[in-house]
Amino acid sequence: MDKVKVAVLGSTGMAGQWFASLLENHPYFEVVALGASKRSAGKKYKEVVKWIIPKPFPEKFKDYVVFDASNPDQLTEKVDLIFSALPSEVAADIELKYLKKGIPVVSNASPFRLEPDVPLMNPEVNSEHLELLKYQTRWGAKLVKNPNCTTAVLTLPLKPILDEFGIEEISVVTMQAISGAGFAGLPAYSIVDNIIPYISKEEYKVKVESVKILGKLENGKIKPSKFSIEATTTRVPVLDSHTEVIYIKPKRSVDANLVKDVLVEFRSRPQELSLPTAPPSPIIVREEEDRPQPRLDRYNGNGMSVTVGRIEVMESGRIRMVAVGHNLLRGASGVSLLTAELMLKEGYI
Amino acid sequence: MDKVKVAVLGSTGMAGQWFASLLENHPYFEVVALGASKRSAGKKYKEVVKWIIPKPFPEKFKDYVVFDASNPDQLTEKVDLIFSALPSEVAADIELKYLKKGIPVVSNASPFRLEPDVPLMNPEVNSEHLELLKYQTRWGAKLVKNPNCTTAVLTLPLKPILDEFGIEEISVVTMQAISGAGFAGLPAYSIVDNIIPYISKEEYKVKVESVKILGKLENGKIKPSKFSIEATTTRVPVLDSHTEVIYIKPKRSVDANLVKDVLVEFRSRPQELSLPTAPPSPIIVREEEDRPQPRLDRYNGNGMSVTVGRIEVMESGRIRMVAVGHNLLRGASGVSLLTAELMLKEGYI
Amino acid sequence: MDKVKVAVLGSTGMAGQWFASLLENHPYFEVVALGASKRSAGKKYKEVVKWIIPKPFPEKFKDYVVFDASNPDQLTEKVDLIFSALPSEVAADIELKYLKKGIPVVSNASPFRLEPDVPLMNPEVNSEHLELLKYQTRWGAKLVKNPNCTTAVLTLPLKPILDEFGIEEISVVTMQAISGAGFAGLPAYSIVDNIIPYISKEEYKVKVESVKILGKLENGKIKPSKFSIEATTTRVPVLDSHTEVIYIKPKRSVDANLVKDVLVEFRSRPQELSLPTAPPSPIIVREEEDRPQPRLDRYNGNGMSVTVGRIEVMESGRIRMVAVGHNLLRGASGVSLLTAELMLKEGYI
Amino acid sequence: MDKVKVAVLGSTGMAGQWFASLLENHPYFEVVALGASKRSAGKKYKEVVKWIIPKPFPEKFKDYVVFDASNPDQLTEKVDLIFSALPSEVAADIELKYLKKGIPVVSNASPFRLEPDVPLMNPEVNSEHLELLKYQTRWGAKLVKNPNCTTAVLTLPLKPILDEFGIEEISVVTMQAISGAGFAGLPAYSIVDNIIPYISKEEYKVKVESVKILGKLENGKIKPSKFSIEATTTRVPVLDSHTEVIYIKPKRSVDANLVKDVLVEFRSRPQELSLPTAPPSPIIVREEEDRPQPRLDRYNGNGMSVTVGRIEVMESGRIRMVAVGHNLLRGASGVSLLTAELMLKEGYI
């Protein structure tokens, strides 16, 4: 099988670097172009990227001449799919240009996430939502989004609990990594020996994106899940991975061991299809009282598993757990890539 | 007025250093002896203390010869009051020895905190609990405890809300400082770029100590407050101050502005008495969406105020707030000292 | 005595915040205007400043309406002196405008530091360099600079050694604080769990500024000191204060105790004049083998002392010491203020 | 070829964990026993080890029953070689017991490092020193040591410079990782937002170990290298890897490009033999002005390369470079393992 030819937009940022790293030797996809801002266009990738992620620089791309991502006409290679790691402020306009040229886009940027005809994908949670694409006809090509990082980590362990026990109410308090703000998004002086108890727009996103992802596809529409959800999101001095303290009020009473079993045994469509980026165990349960820890658990399942611990059923009947997941893998580039793999295997590309 | 003569037990640890710093020039109390472990006994304070807190070393005490705290007979000075910053493992035995010699003890250590006849004091919250001392007759002198650091910070903003609106249910997620584990309690390798989602025994302590402190004194007994309480406690890479995300289900519906007013206006007995360690504003409310922050807010009110922000009434009707308080001042040495000041002014010393 | 009326340019940055804090209740100077970028002009100081330094916000200035620092005509108050904490990129142009209007400028920015007629002041080191101002006639008012932060910390302990023993050669390796890069100058992701072994232009600055400051004023000119100097400057995950490992080859052989004595006893013109910002002991010598430490020693002498330890004469005859000094106090705003105090007392303002 | 059967002493500490990780699937060595303190003896490895290094737990060893390392009689398996990661305080006694039983020991602990008949091995630097073993007859088996971590990183780039240009004098300032103090060796409160300018005994070790390693074997004895060496060693908030600013006074004048060539091209006996743990490029030279950085460069060559940058020939003629190397791989377990591989291939095991 010939590989699908792809381009990465926003290839010099942190999510873009992860795309480059994950795609260097991918069995399905071949990167034929790397896009970035106008300022970088025309220069070699190795000259314009300030490589910072904890993986080796992908030597394969070092001499790729970066093109101006904002102008699809600058893309001289034929391309079957776009991965977008564009900044949210510019993503809407630019992504539309590619759609209008007939190139499908799988995107990590926030615009269009809540549009009724745009699937918001966390593949183990809602693989069937891809069917929405059959009804998405307004552009010349298909647009697929993945959720914000916090929601991607959150909804994975929620899914088997929702299916098994039902959910009435969620409350989540997050401790989010520095890299979630982008490479230069957070001044060092603001976070060393400190916590910032607020992340702009994040709590709203968690709320609205979670119920869409966990919703049901009925008659070509997503019916959002009905539980209520409260979020408090904070920034902590951790490089990568979000830690989330999650309280879940289930519809029926449960015990902790049952919850653990349901989480451990959870497998979904990406595992059935043995997609290359799918972790064998999407949810890893740790029994030690002091786990999960972001520094120790972030690369479980190559950064695609969510690791869960401190599972307890409280006196109130609520399930309490602490989840750790990599914000740039499960929460961004990894989940985009997994989505594209799923699309390919399910015939959407 | 002659000053009350005091000794500090455990004077070389972090809470002990704070006691020494706070007592160097205190209007009511005069330190006449500093106790530490047998190993340090007989040496000068300046030789045995590894000064580490962010205040100048108290030169006044530099040549004090440290005595063996475990043996009250080594205490050659006449002493009216003991401040105990002893490690919890040894505190019970040692504190009893002083009580039996007729010297009252105000203690930061955990043993006896839940005894029915021992007041567990956070002075702005439960000054009237000192009356318990009238019924505490089993030892030769009086024993008073302060709560663990997390509970001290938590119960302060809960108090005016309990009084004004009633409380049905509390849920708290904490992000606790390194110094809460004691100077050598936490290896550096375990916490840099990391979070530890668990602190031994802490969640239980929060639960049982909070309802005692917020309880009512009736017929010589504390009737614990009846709300339920759930806690998840974590350790983060912050030097000092605990950050607590608090959800409160009030008994009647409230709006956020009313909550803010009630918190801002809260004053209590220590403020009425103008006690030297009482902060003018016990609770400080910040309106900025990114406050409180531990590094910026920990020394508000000389470390005795709790700073609160992100106050919101959620869809569920629950009040959400983030509180920051200094774990070694409001949470340990400061609250002990404030308690002793209150005891003196109320005639208990 | 009426206070000297001053304006602060660049008042919202970190050095500007320190100026505001230090000047809130100053005996000689009264802030009548706060300047910042055009974007902030016309708004209240409390609205435009993101207060971040570890001192309380100066309430006195909260309602000051910030003026556009780039345009002296916007300065409606009569002003006797300018303190400039402008970014180096814009400082030259703007400072000249004030000079041309006849207002003297004491500046922390790098342009003009090496001009022959501009005193580069670290008052304990080269108070007599102010005489240069007699020969500085090209502008309508006098311009005085302070050195970069690393050099300010370095030259203070070098001065008594130069005077007493002579210096042939200096080698310095620095570990510099995050705040040296300005509030947003260093992304958090780049420095947590890391060291950056390079700071742009810093090594050159240390070299050329040090020999000027330690030079002799002869016939209206500074004759730079003749020793050679090598510097390697690095950035480390420390909030404030630079740590400098200094090797000095003295002209004559010395022993460590003599070096310590010379450092401890050093006093200079600011101490003689009891200037308000002058630390009683400009150089503090610590004997403990593990001191100085930036977190513990940065506020010695209110941030104006340099703390020195690990003093040893090596087999090579070189003196080795480790120095810690606050980069924003001794290294920026504090040294500017001390310079202005000296100028006032010596009749230059 | 049958694998050589080995036991690891001190297998639960950080160096011990690295041994376990590196040996899980090693082509030459097979771990047949894991030793630890008496307290852990008799329990399974997975129960007693608190796995903390950033590599997956070696599942192969999970059910190994740990034996009391202090008593070789408890070692029930036949063993051909001991890897010792024992704490230095107990290492001398225990290692001798194994030697007396006829089992050779390759050790990371400090005792015996300076004994004239004990090779102190950094294989790329002094592979020929193994010949010393022919003269080492006092015990029933051979003892080989590797240097302290700082010296291992330092001597690697010194070697080609010594060979090519000669060295008169070395001056090194280090910024050393937290893990160099052992897992619990450094309290978190002491190092966050701080530097400790001193590491016990380290400067002496660097001095005496470096000249031994870089010495010449003549007539069955090591003639230490003659250059003088000055070291200042500090601890910084970095998890793993030491950063070293090195000044070298060469015997003849050099230029920077030549130095770079000599470093880049350096290969040695381990590379010739293609030893499994030998990095293809022992020294990696980075041209970017802001490299090497410990977080980005520590795993170069699987943690066995030393990465060097900022190479410059100063006015004084001294070569300046910054080197980064992993303190637990090149500096401890990795270098021990490489030494054992060399011994095997050279016929010493």
Please say whether the beta carbons of A343 and A320 come within 8 A: no
Q: Which of B178, B181, B183 sits opposite D192 (nearest CB)?
A: B178
Neighbour order of strands in the sheet with D306-313: D228-235, D167-176, D242-250, D319-325, D306-313, D283-285
Buried b or exposed e, range A212-223, using 16+ CB within 10 angstroms: bbbbebeeeebe
C172: nearest Cα among C336, C330, C318, C329: C318
Mark yes or no for CB contact D239/B183 under 8 Å.
Answer: no
Helix, coil or strand: residue A325? strand
> Each residue of D166-194: b (16+ CB within 10 Å) or e?
bbeebbbbbbbbbbbbebebbbbbbbbbb
Instruction: Answer yes or no: are the C-beta atoms of C211 and C124 closer than 8 Å.
Output: no
With contacts defined as CB-CB under 8 Å, which chain D residues touch B190? 52, 183, 188
The DSSP code for C60 is: G
Q: How far apart are CA D281 and CA D266, in angstroms?
A: 8
Residue of D179, D183, D189 with shortest CB distance to B239? D189
A323 token code pair: 């989840």
Q: Can you name the residues that pair with D6 across neighbouring β-strands?
A: D31, D81
Instruction: Provide residues of A within 8 Å CB-CB of chain C.
Output: 14, 52, 178-179, 181, 183-193, 237, 239
Provide CB contacts within 8 A for C225, sequence distance 6+: C162, C167, C210, C211, C214, C215, C216
CB B59, CB B35: distance < 8 Å:
no
Strands A67-68 and A29-36: parallel
Does residue A295 carry a pLDDT above 80?
yes
- CA D225/CA D166 separation, integer angstroms: 10
Q: Please identify which residue in the block is written with the tokens 């022919």.
A: D134
Is pTM beyond 0.80? Reply is yes
What burial class does residue C294 get, using C-beta atoms within 10 Å of its C-beta: 0-12 exposed, 13-18 middle, 19+ buried?
A: buried
Specify the DSSP class assigned to residue C140: S
Give Cα B180 distance to the centre of its chain: 11
**Predicted local confidence at residue B9, as pLDDT:** 98
Tokens of B25: 């020039």
Question: What does the pLDDT look like over B81-135, one tens digit per residue?
Answer: 999 999 999 999 999 999 999 999 999 999 999 999 999 999 999 999 999 999 9
Give CA torsion, residues A335, A338, A340, A341, to 10 deg: 180
> If you count residue pairs, one on A and one on D, with CB atoms under 8 Å apart, how many are there?
12
Taking each continuous run of H as one helix and of E as one strand, the counts in chain C are 11, 14
Side-chain-facing half-sphere of D249: CA atoms under 13 Å: 11
Number of helices (H), then strands (E), belonging to chain B: the values are 11, 14
Q: Is the pLDDT higher at B1 or at B231?
A: B231
Amino acid letter at D92?
A: A
| Contact criterion met (CB < 8 Å) for B190 and D188 | yes
With vertex at residue C156, the alpha carbon angle to CA C150 and CA C159, rounded to the nearest 5 degrees, is 130
Inter-residue contact A346 to A328 (CB < 8 Å): no
Residue whose entry in the numeric block shows the structure tokens 């510019």: A90
- Contact in structure between A41 and A74 (CB atoms under 8 Å): yes
> B303, B334 in Cβ contact below 8 A?
yes
Instruction: Identify whether the C-beta of residue D22 lies closer than 8 Å to the C-beta of residue D83.
Output: no
Is B149 part of the annotated catalytic residue set? yes
The chains found to touch C (3+ Cβ pairs under 8 angstroms) are: A, B, D
Cα B318 → chain centroid: 27
Q: How far is C55 from chain B (nearest CA, A)?
A: 9
Q: How confident is the model at residue B1 (pLDDT cuts 50, 70, 90)?
A: low
Of C337, C335, C336, residue with least CA distance to C153: C335
Quote the pLDDT of residue A6: 98
Cα–Cα distance for residue pair B132/C328, rounded to 1 Å: 52
Per-residue pLDDT averaged across C319-337, rounded?
98
* Distance in Å, alpha carbon of C320 to nearest chain D alpha carbon: 9
Take residue D234 and report the two structure tokens written for it.
Answer: 């500090």
Of the candidates D183, D189, D237, which has its C-beta nearest B179's C-beta?
Answer: D189
DSSP conformation class of C175: E
Sheet holding A4-9, edge to edge: A67-68, A29-36, A4-9, A81-84, A105-107, A143-145
User: Other CB atoms closer than 10 Å to residue C136's CB: what's the count?
Assistant: 18
Candidate list A26, A129, A149, A326, residue with the active-site label: A149
Is residue C315 within 8 A of residue C336, CB to CB? The reply is no
Residue among C52, C192, C295 minimizing CB distance to B193: C192
**Interface predicted TM-score of the whole assembly (ipTM), two decimals:** 0.96
- Indicate the angle between helix axes D202-213 and D149-165, nearest 10 degrees: 40
E strands along D21-166, which residues?
Answer: 29-36, 67-68, 81-84, 105-107, 143-145
CA A18, CA A334: separation in Å to the nearest integer?
8
Q: Where are the domains of chain A?
A: 4-148+333-345, 149-325
Is B242 catalytic? The answer is: yes
Please report residues of C whose CB lies closer than 8 A to that of B296.
51-52, 54
pLDDT tens-place string over residues C84-142? 999 999 999 999 999 999 999 999 999 999 999 999 999 999 999 999 999 999 999 99
**Average confidence score pLDDT of chain C:** 97
Cβ-contact D105, D112 below 8 angstroms: no
- Altogether, the residues listed in chain D come to a count of 349
Separation between Cα atoms, residue D288 and residue D322, nearest integer Å: 12
- Interface probe for A, chosen from B230, B249, B311 (most Cβ of A below 10 Å), is B230
Alpha helices in chain D (DSSP H): 14-23, 45-48, 88-100, 123-126, 149-165, 188-191, 202-213, 256-265, 269-272, 294-297, 333-345
Q: Is the pLDDT of residue A1 over 90?
A: no
pLDDT digits (tens, 9 = 90+) for A127-161: 999 999 999 999 999 999 999 999 999 999 999 99
Backbone angles phi, psi at D310, to 5 degrees: 50, 35
Number of H helices, E strands in chain A: 11, 14
SS3 assignment, position D194: coil
Show which residues of D are catalytic. 149, 242
Query: Using alpha carbons only, what angle is made at residue B260 by residues B256 and B266, rounded to the nearest 5 degrees?
Result: 145
Instruction: Report d(CA A306, CA D273) in Å as an integer.
Output: 42
Chain D residues in contact with B239 by the CB 8 A cut-off are 189, 192-193
Average pLDDT over residues C290-302: 98
CB contact under 8 A, D188 and B191: yes
Q: For residue C174, what are its two tokens?
A: 């620095």
Closest residue by Cα to residue C163 from C295, C267, C282, C59: C267
| HEC letters along B14-56 | HHHHHHHHHHCCCCCEEEEEEEECHHHCCCEHHHHCCCCCCCC
Residue C1 — pLDDT band, cuts 50, 70, 90? low
Nearest CA-CA distance, residue C52 and chain D, Å: 16
CA distance C277 to B86: 41
Residue A116: pLDDT above 90? yes
Percent of chain C surpassing pLDDT 90 = 99
Give the residue from D4, D8, D14, D10 showing the smallest Cα distance to D182: D14
CB atoms within 10 A of CB B1: 6
Residue A82, pLDDT > 90, answer yes
pLDDT block averages, 10 residues each, chain D of length 349: 94 98 98 97 97 96 98 94 96 98 97 98 98 95 98 98 98 98 96 97 97 96 96 98 98 97 98 98 97 98 98 96 98 98 97
Return the CATH fold of A4-148+333-345.
Rossmann fold (3.40.50)
Strand ranges, E, within B79-220: 81-84, 105-107, 143-145, 167-176, 216-218
* Residue numbers in D near B185 (CB within 8 A): 187
> Measured between alpha carbons, how far is D324 from D308 in angstroms, rounded to an integer?
6
> What is the Cα–Cα distance from C116 to A285, expressed in whole angstroms?
69
Main-chain dihedrals φ then ψ at residue A110, nearest 5 degrees:
-75, -30
Class at the top of the CATH hierarchy for domain D149-325: alpha beta
Q: Give the tens place of pLDDT for each residue, B250-269.
A: 999 999 999 999 999 999 99
Q: Is the pLDDT of residue C262 over 70?
A: yes
Q: How far apart are CA C267 and CA C284, in angstroms?
A: 11
